[in-house]
Structure 1
């Protein structure tokens, strides 16, 4: 039976077109990529009832359920309503004080209302990882009601430490958990373990003073990774209680102009990060004259210019005393047409040994 298929409408509803005509893939949001295992039964039910029985762990940590016929989308959305209400409303919208913003009203009865703000991805963070400086999925859940739902596109990745396992440098708005360290010289035994750890795995800012037997630090280049804390056997290094973040801006993949993001904020508190993100939709609307297009954040920053972006995104944001803001940013993109002056290699067959 033939039917009209509105691909654009389905895509906005978070159903991606398949190479098989008439089939779609549902992308279920999982803010921060962390979820109660009980919800796996929901994924199984949708996949086996309306899909082809399979699902994919999406690159943005969504549950991607494949092989859903277009005609099954209304039934999937009806079943999905409870999941959305529990995951998006209960997990991400219950503690309004943490985001200082009323949740944007939307009814999940018809499924997801937009694909604009992509699922916020995160590494496991300090819920499990010994390297991490922050709880990444808790931060993701605080960000979720700020950016979603929205037709303005943004990709946000959160990494628990400067190892950046979650590729904060390759998205529109990358957030990295960093820590400021306190040195306790009275505990230091002068073993140099922290110096070796910093030398091997970080920015080599520590040195052992042979006269005093104590550690000296070039604080200007410390990236807040916490390797010194992990390495010290005497707890001479400890993380300060305040959580800090580094924000990376304008990174992206893609065929034409991929690039690594650059540092925008350093040593910012959680409230500063959330406050800046509260201005994201306003900035996006200004750039596109209140007419959303399918353009991600890095491209919008390019349109506005960094100076204008900084002005709008930090409007009304009270920076903490430690926070540093990039004066300017100069991105370096990969150019495919101008870097090479080599003629294509001609291919020909040669005769083999007779």
Structure 2
């Protein structure tokens, strides 16, 4: 029992509080999705062990605060049985975040939930020299701040105009948040240097004259939030979920081998050889069609 207690205590999802006899337990919920029975189960576990409330975290997990440290093993067993096991928080791969994606969102360009679960199943909880946060956004709106994660994945799509059929109604102009579309000589014209490949003009065209092409995943590395927010650097564009998982695996291994502890990943990309990694992955996975 003492060995098991120590093992559970060391998990990243067990967070010590100011009161040394109390802990907060963070759960593992890839993409923040759980079924109704699991949600009820968390409420039951919270009541059973005296948690006064539940806390929704910014990384789509649920925390049970103010629990007795002496009962960690019992609580962990009940959480495991509920399908909401103890999560991660230390220098490891933590809860994978995702927006609703094409399952629910009208703006999404890619499926996100199953991809998040697959990435979670392969990499969650791996010990790392630095914390590795992964976020998947279905479109460049980036509602879950994929740009500010150690690994960010963003779904993008290229709009293609149908020659000779545009009515010049201007709907796509009104919808484009980047002001990348204008009407010239009665037809819409796209300034590709301003387009962020969100696909909103495709969805807005009332006559369905803007087609979609080159659906792909933009993968960025080294984003930082917190004290010094920094956008991650583009690593590669790939065109399938399988390639996304392959790239993520390579990046995680690269971080494990090259990163130094006590510094954020985004602070050490150059000395880790980011450009070499970028070139190597481009050769291995092949670039998706770039803008």
With the length of structure 2 as denominator, give the TM-score of the two structures: 0.85
| Closer/same/farther in 2, CA of residues 129 and 155 from structure 1, 3 Å limit | same
Larger CA deviation: 43-52 vs 21-30: 43-52
Structure 1 residue 323 displacement after superposition: 4.7
Q: Which whole-Å CA distance do the structure 2 matches of 1:157 and 1:303 have between them?
A: 24
Match of 1:161 among 133, 139, 145: 139
Larger CA deviation: 264-273 vs 160-169: 264-273
In the other structure, the counterpart of 1:279 is 250
With the length of structure 1 as denominator, give the TM-score of the two structures: 0.71
In the other structure, the counterpart of 1:102 is none
Structure 1 residue 141 displacement after superposition: 1.2
Check whether the contact 2:238–2:285 (CA below 8 A) recurs between aligned residues.
no
Match of 2:168 among 179, 186, 190: 190
Structure 1 residue 18 displacement after superposition: 1.1
Give the SS at the match of 2:82.
helix
In the other structure, the counterpart of 2:182 is 207
- More strand per residue: 2
Give the SS at the match of 1:12.
coil
Bigger radius of gyration: 1
Q: Which whole-Å CA distance do the structure 2 matches of 1:74 and 1:225 have between them?
A: 46
Unaligned runs of 5+ in 2: none
Check whether the contact 1:249–1:262 (CA below 8 A) recurs between aligned residues.
yes
Check whether the contact 1:178–1:267 (CA below 8 A) recurs between aligned residues.
no
Q: Which whole-Å CA distance do the structure 2 matches of 1:278 and 1:317 have between them?
A: 13
1:83-121, Cα deviation, whole Å (9 max, x unpaired): 34xx7xxxxxxxxxxxxxxxxxxxx8xx56885111011
In the other structure, the counterpart of 1:58 is 57
- Give 1:253-292 correspondences, 5 Å limit: 253-255=225-227, 257-266=228-237, 268-287=239-258
Check whether the contact 1:287–1:300 (CA below 8 A) recurs between aligned residues.
no
Check whether the contact 1:275–1:317 (CA below 8 A) recurs between aligned residues.
no
Check whether the contact 1:229–1:239 (CA below 8 A) recurs between aligned residues.
yes
In the other structure, the counterpart of 2:74 is 75
Structure 1 residue 320 displacement after superposition: 4.1
- Give 1:106-117 correspondences, 5 Å limit: 115=90, 116-117=92-93
Structure 1 residue 221 displacement after superposition: 3.8
In the other structure, the counterpart of 2:219 is 247
1:298-329, Cα deviation, whole Å (9 max, x unpaired): 345354142244356x28732244158xxxxx
1:141-195, Cα deviation, whole Å (9 max, x unpaired): 1211232230013101111111111111211111111112232245532212112
Q: How many residues align?
A: 285
| Cα root mean square deviation, aligned | 2.9
Check whether the contact 1:272–1:317 (CA below 8 A) recurs between aligned residues.
no
